[in-house]
Structure 1
Amino acid sequence: MTLNNLPPELQSKICSYLVKSIGPSSIHALLRTCKQLYDVALPFSVQIFRNTAPIHIGRGPCSDTRNVQFLRYILISKPELANKVDTAILGGFTTTRETVTTPTAATSTKEELAIYQEFIINALGPQLSEADLARRDSWIAHLKEQSSDAQISLILLACSGVRRLYFEDYQEGSSQNQLFKKPDCFIFLLEMAKTLSTSRTPGFNAPLRNLRHVQAQSHEDNDCGWEQAFRLMALPQLKSYESLDTTRRGNFAGDSTILPLITTPQSSSVRHISLHQSLAPAAEVQALLRVCRHLEKFEYISPTFESISGIFARDIMEAVLPHAGTLHHLHINFSDECKKIGWEDNPQRLYLGTELAQMTALRHLSIGMQALTGEFDAAPTDEQDTPSRIEGAPRLIECLPESLVELSIRDCGKAILDQAKELMDTIEKGERFNNLRRIVLVFKAEVVNVRDIRQVIPDTGKEARRCDLWVAFQHREARWVSSGRGHTFEGIRAIPSLCSRIFADDLRKDWIDFRGALAQKLYTKAFSPGSPAHGVDADERMNRLLLLKPPHEYQLDD
C-alpha cells in the first residue's frame, strides 16, 4: 500500500515523525510530491519555526531575513498556518534598528508593514492604557526599522498555538554597559500576555495563551534575562521553565510597576524549573521559586569548574522548603570540585541540613556528597587547613526524608562509605526508609575503586534486598559531561551545553540518561559475583556525549 492510499490519520502520523528541530526536515520534500500529500504535510511544515545561528557556530543572532520571510508567509500568503506553529526555536534578537531606503526581498514592504500594523492593533485590542498605547506604537515603529526584537515579537503574537519556546538571550554585549538596550517589544508582549489573560474584553485572546514550556539560554553577562523569567512565569498556562547560563542578575530597574504583579507568591502555574550552569544569587532563585503554586521538580546545576559564590546548598534548601508537600524531584549539582567563595564564616551553608527530612513529597533526590553530608573529598578552597568534614553536619539517616524512592549521590569519596552502609543496614532491618528502592553512588574514579567499597560494604551476591545499591565510577571528563557542559568542534558543531534544547536537542536525552538511569545499564552488575575489580566500561552513549571521542580516551572506570 502506498502512502497516498493510507487513511488521512495515518498520513498525518507519518508526517509528524518527519518534523525535525535540528537539521533539514524531510517534511519539506513531501510537499513536492502530489497535491494530496501536500495538503496533509503543509501544516506540519510550519510546526517548528527555527531561526538560529548555524549549528557549527552554536550561538548568535537570528536572521532578520528569515523573520521577514516567515512573517510574509503566515500573515499574508497563508495566514491559516499561523496557528499550526507548535515550537519556536530562536537565536538572539535585538533592538538594533536600521533605516530602510530601498526595499528588497529581505525587507518588508510598506504594504506588508501596514498589514502587520493592523494585525498588532487588532490583536491587542482597544482597551490599552495610554502608556501601553505608546509602547504598542513603538513596537510598530521598530518593526518598520527591521528590529529583530519587533519581528520575533510579532511572530509570537501571530502564532497563537505555540506551546514550546526556546530562545537565546540578547546579543548586544554586557547589560552593565550604559548603551545596552533591553528587547522592549518582547518584554511588552510578555506583559500584555499576562494583562490580557485576566481581561474580560469579549473577542480578545491573550498572546502566548497556549505556551507550556520555555527554555531561555542566556548569553555572556546580560542581566535582563532574569526579569523575563518572572514575566514568563506569570503566563497562566506555563508548566516548565528552564534557564541556561544564568549569570548574576542586577536590580529590576524601571520595573516597579510590573514586578509586584508577576512576583506575587504562589501565583504561577509553573511546576518544573531547571537552572543549568547557573550563577544567580540565592535571593533571586528563592524569589523565583516563591511564585510557584505547585512546584513538583527543581534542578540546579552550577557552572562547570568555576568558583561558586552567592549561593550554596542551604540556600537551595530554603528555596524548596515551602514546597515540601508538592516537590517530587530535586537535582542539585554544585560540583564538589569547584572552589567555594565565602563559605568559611558559615560553613553550614554548604550542605542541605536536617530540613531536608521535612520534604514529605520528595521521591527522587540527586545531589553531590558534599552538599548532602558536609563531607569534603576535594577541598572547596585552596586553604591547607580545610577540614575533612563540617562539624555538626547530619548523617544520611538523620536528614533523608522517609518518602524517598531513589537516592543518587555523585562526586563520592571514601567518606560516604560508612554512612551508605549505615543507611543500607537501617533499610534492611525494616526500621525506616521503607519506600527507598534504589541508591546510586557515583564515585570519583581517581580516588575510589571497587575494592575500597567492598571492604566497607560486602558483596551480597544474589540475596534479595529491600533496596538496590548501584555503583558508578567517573573520571573528571565524565563529571564534566554529567554537569551538562558542551563541546566545540571547529567547523563541525558547537554545543555550548548538552542540556540545550536549541543546539543539542538530539543529545539531550542521552545526557539525561547518562546522569541518571544509564547507571542501571552500566553498573547493576558491579557487585555481582565475578565482576571485574576495574568496573565496567562506558558504552557508546558516553562516546556520543563526548562527541565521538575515541573510547579508550574517556572511560568511566579504571
Structure 2
Amino acid sequence: MEQQAQVEKIPPTTLLTLPPEILSQIFSCLVDETEGKPDIQAILKTCKHLYEIALPISVSVFRNTVHSYSGSSSCSRVRNIRFLRYILVSKPWLAKHVKTVIIGRCSVYDDKYLGFNQRGEGHDAVTSDELAVYRHNIEFFLGQLPSGYTQSWYKQWLTDLRSGTSDSQFALILLSCPNIRTILYVEPEGTRHFGQLIRFIRNLVGINRSIQTPGSEWGDGNHPPMAIPLSNVRDVFHETPNYKNGYKTFYLEAPDILAFPRIRFYECILANGDSIAATMFKTLPLRSSSVEEIVLHCSYLCPDALAGMLGACKALKKFEFTYGRLEVSPDLMTPRDIFEALLPHADTLEELYIHLEENGDKDWEWVEYPSKLYLGPGLPQLRNLKKLTVGMQALTGMLAFQPETHDEDDQMPMEIEGAARIIHCLPENLENLLVRDCGVAILDQVEELLAAIERGGRFGKLTDIRLIFNAWKMDMEVDGPEIERLNSNSANVRLDVVLQNDLGYVYDLGFCITEDDDYAIERNIMSRINSRHVRDEYLESRGKVSDVDEIPPYLLD
C-alpha cells in the first residue's frame, strides 16, 4: 500500500514535462520538405515554453515553390522578402538554424511576369532599414576581396534587392544562413547574383586553401581563415522545367557547386553537357571535390564532360546515370567511356547504376571500336563495387534484339566479338546485380555464374541477382523452361526474373509525368522539389515492375 501511494504521488509525464532535447526531436518530425506550411506552425501557437523550443525548428526548412502555367515551379518574391525580414531583421539569431532551402525558379526578369504570375499573393517592399541590414551582410563577405573585384556586383545586388528580383533574394538567403546543409532549386531564368555567388564561393575556397598551405604565396601564418558562405552544404539538387532540351546551362553552376568545401551529394535532372561543359569541368583540379555521390537522371553527357566531372572527385562512392534523349550526337558517351571515367575511383566506388536505353539507337560513335559498347573485362578493377545495375549489352556485349535505326547499314552488332563472359567481368566483392534489357543469350552465362557461386569460389558475397527481360519483344513466360532451369540452380542466391512490358520499360527510365489539372504541368518523377513522394515510390519499385504487375498508378503528390 505504501509503495502504491508513492507511485500515485509521482506526477504523470506530459508534453510540457519532457526535456527540451526530446521535444526538439519530436518537433523536427513536424517539418516536412514537401509541405508549404509545415505542421510545426501549430506548435508555435500553444504556449511560451513550446514556442521557444519550436521556433528554431520552424525555420530549419525554407520552402518557396509556386506552380506556374509554364509547368515549372517558380518562387514567390513576397515570401522571399518576408523570410529575409524574419531571419535577418526581426530575429537575426534564427539565420543559423536554417538547414534546408528549397526554391522554385527564380529570375532576374521578374517584372515581365507580373501580368500573369504574381509569384505570391500580396505586395511587399524592402524598407531602407532592412536594406541597411542586408548591405551589412553582403559587405561582410564581399569585403574579404579587394573592392575592385566586388564593387560593381555589390551595388547591383543592392539595387536588385530594392526592386525585389527573386534572383537577388535567393542569393542573399544563401549568403546569410551559415548552416545550410541542403539546397534544392529549379534552373534559374537567368542569374546575376546566384551564379556569381557560387563562383565567388569557389574563389574563396581556393584562396583560403592557399592561405592555409605553408609555403604558398600567402601561407605565412598571418592570415586568419576566410568566412566562406555555404561551407556546410552537403547536398545539392537542381533540375529544369525544359523537358525538351534539358538543362543546357547546368555546366555554368555544377563545377562551382562541386567546389563547395563539404559537399557530399550532387544530383541533376536533365543535365545536358556537351564539349563546352567539358571545358568548364576541366577547370576543376583533379581529385579536388569532396562529393561522394553523383546522380544524373534523364541526362546527356559527352565523354569529356563526364571525365572532367568524375575526375574532379576525390573518392566517389556512388554514380548513377540514366540516359535521356536530349541530343542525338556521336559524342554521347558509351559504356566504355563511363568505365574509363570511373577508374580513378576503383578503390572507393560501391554502387554503379547505368541505364542507357539500349533498345534505342543513339548514334554512338562505335563503328571503329565496337568494344566501346560494353564495359569490358576491366570491370573487376572496381574492387569495392557492391551494387551494379547495368544493361545486358553494357555487361556482356550482347543485344536482346536489334534497335530500330534510320540507317540499316549502320546497325549495332548483336554480339561483340571477343567480349568476355559475365563470370570474368564481375568484381569479386559484388553483392547485388541487376541486368536489364536481357535476352535469351544471357541465360547460359547466368547459369555459369550461379554454378560458380554454388561451388563456393569467387563471388561469395553475391546473393541477389535480378534479370529484367523485355517481354513485349520476346516470346517468354515466367514459368517457361529457360526460367525454370535458372531457378533450379540458385540455392544460395536469390534470383528474380522480371518480364517487363513496354510500359514498365518506360517507367524504369523515369520519364516525366503530366498533371491532369486545369493546366498541363509536367513534373519529373525523380524531382525532389515537386514530386518527393512520387520519387520515393519510384525508387522503391524501379527494376521490379513486371509484365503482369500494374504500373504504379498515375503518380502525383
TM-score by length of 1: 0.84
Aligned residue for 1:157?
Answer: 175
Pairing partner for 1:499 from 526, 530, 540: 526
Is structure 2 residue 228 aligned with structure 1 residue 206?
yes
Question: 1:40 is matched with which residue?
Answer: 53
Q: Could you give the per-residue CA deviations for residues 514-557 of structure 1, whole angstroms, max 9, x where no partner exists?
A: 126xx5xx89xxxxxxxxxxx8645xxx5257459xxxxxxxxx
CA–CA distance in 2 between the matches of 1:181 and 1:338?
Answer: 39
Relative to structure 2, which stretch is displaced further, 356-365 or 285-294? 356-365
Q: CA–CA distance in 1 between the matches of 2:253 and 2:34?
A: 25
Q: Give a deviation string over 1:346-374, Cα, whole Å, max 9, x none.
A: 33222111121211111110011122122
- 1:423-464 Cα offsets, whole Å, 9 max, x none, are 11222223432222221112223223224453672543xx87
- Structure 2 counterpart of 1:543: 552
- State the one-letter code of the partner of 1:156: L
1:399: which partner in 2?
425
Specify the alignment match of 1:341 in structure 2.
363
Partners of 1:55 and 1:16 in 2: CA distance = 30
Looking at structure 1, the residues matched to 69 and 18 of structure 2 have their Cα atoms a distance apart, in angstroms, of 39
Question: Which residue of structure 1 lines up, in the alignment, with residue 390 of structure 2?
Answer: 367
Between the aligned partners of 1:84 and 1:367, the Cα distance in structure 2 is 41
* Structure 1 pair 203–408 and aligned structure 2 pair: CA distance change class (3 A): closer
Q: Does structure 1 residue 432 correspond to structure 2 residue 432? A: no
Pick aligned residue for 2:311 from 290, 300, 319:
290
Matches within 5 A, 1:220-369: 220=242, 221=245, 222-249=247-274, 251=276, 263-303=284-324, 309=330, 310-345=332-367, 346-369=369-392
Query: 1:54-203 residue pairs with structure 2 within 5 A?
Result: 54=67, 59-96=72-109, 105-128=123-146, 130-171=148-189, 184-192=195-203, 194-195=205-206, 197-198=208-209, 201-202=223-224
Quote the RMSD (CA, aligned, Å): 3.0
Q: Aligned pair in 2 of structure 1 residues 364, 233: CA closer, same or farther (>3 Å)?
A: same
TM-aligned CA deviation for residue 249 of structure 1: 4.1
Structure 1 distance, partners of 2:454, 2:135, is 69
TM-aligned CA distance change 1:380 to 1:317, over 3 Å: farther
Aligned with 2:108: secondary structure?
A: coil
- Deviation of 1:286 (Å): 0.9
Q: 1:56 to 1:144 in 2, by over 3 A?
A: closer
Contact 1:149 1:186 (8 Å CA) reproduced: no
Q: Which residue in 2 is equivalent to 1:479? A: 505
Q: 1:145: how far off?
A: 3.3
Q: Cα–Cα, structure 1 residues 471 and 405, in superposed 2: closer, same or farther, change >3 Å?
A: same
- Aligned: 1:4 with 2:16: yes
Question: What is the CA distance between 1:384 and its match in structure 2?
Answer: 4.6
Aligned residues: 513
Structure 1 residue 21 corresponds to structure 2 residue 33:
yes
SS at match of 1:508: helix
Task: Classify the secondary structure of the residue corresponding to 1:362.
Answer: coil
Contact 2:168–2:193 under 8 Å retained in 1? no
Deviations 1:199-222 (A, max 9, x none): 565475210011001111134345
Contact 1:75 1:82 (8 Å CA) reproduced: yes
The answer to whether the 8 Å contact 2:294/2:318 transfers is yes
Q: Which moved more, 1:124-133 or 1:6-15?
A: 124-133
2:179 and 2:233 in contact (8 A); partners too: yes
Gaps of at least 5 residues in structure 1 are 173-179, 524-534, 549-558
Q: Which amino acid aligns with 1:503?
A: N
Alpha-carbon offset, residue 344 of structure 1? 4.7
Secondary structure, counterpart of 2:499 in structure 1: strand
What is the SS of the residue equivalent to 2:301? coil
Tell me which residue corresponds to 2:6: none
Asked whether the 8 Å contact 1:193–1:207 carries over to 2, the reply is no
Tell me the CA shift for residue 232 of structure 1.
0.8
| Amino acid corresponding to residue 236 of structure 1 in structure 2 | P
Letter in 2 for 1:271: E
**Which whole-Å CA distance do the structure 1 matches of 2:326 and 2:448 have between them?**
31
Aligned-partner Cα distance in 1 for 2:401–2:254: 34
Distance in 1, Cα, partners of 2:485 & 2:63: 52
Letter in 1 for 2:421: R
Runs of 5+ in structure 2 lacking a partner?
1-12, 113-121, 213-222
Q: Secondary structure at the match of 2:390?
A: strand
Q: Which amino acid aligns with 1:298?
A: F
Give secondary structure in 2 for the equivalent of 1:411.
Answer: strand
Task: Return closer, same or farther for 1:380/1:393 CA change in 2, 3 Å cut-off.
Answer: farther
Tell me the TM-score normalised to structure 2 length: 0.84
Task: Specify the code of the residue in structure 2 equivalent to 1:138.
Answer: Q
- 2:329 and 2:357 map into 1 onto residues whose CA distance is 9
Question: Are the aligned partners of 2:396 and 2:422 in contact in 1 as well (CA < 8 Å)?
Answer: yes
Bigger CA drift: 348-357 or 228-237?
348-357
Structure 2 residue identity aligned to 1:194: V
SS at match of 1:141: helix
Q: Distance in 1 between matches of 2:225 and 2:426?
A: 52
Q: Is the 8 A contact 1:56 1:490 kept in 2?
A: no
Q: Which amino acid aligns with 1:191?
A: R
Alignment partner for residue 454 of structure 1, among 472, 482, 485?
A: 482
SS at match of 1:325: coil
Q: 1:193 to 1:163 in 2, by over 3 A?
A: farther
Structure 2 equivalent of residue 443 of structure 1: 469
Residue 183 of structure 1 deviates from its aligned partner by: 5.1
For residue 3 of structure 1, report the CA deviation from its aligned partner: 2.5
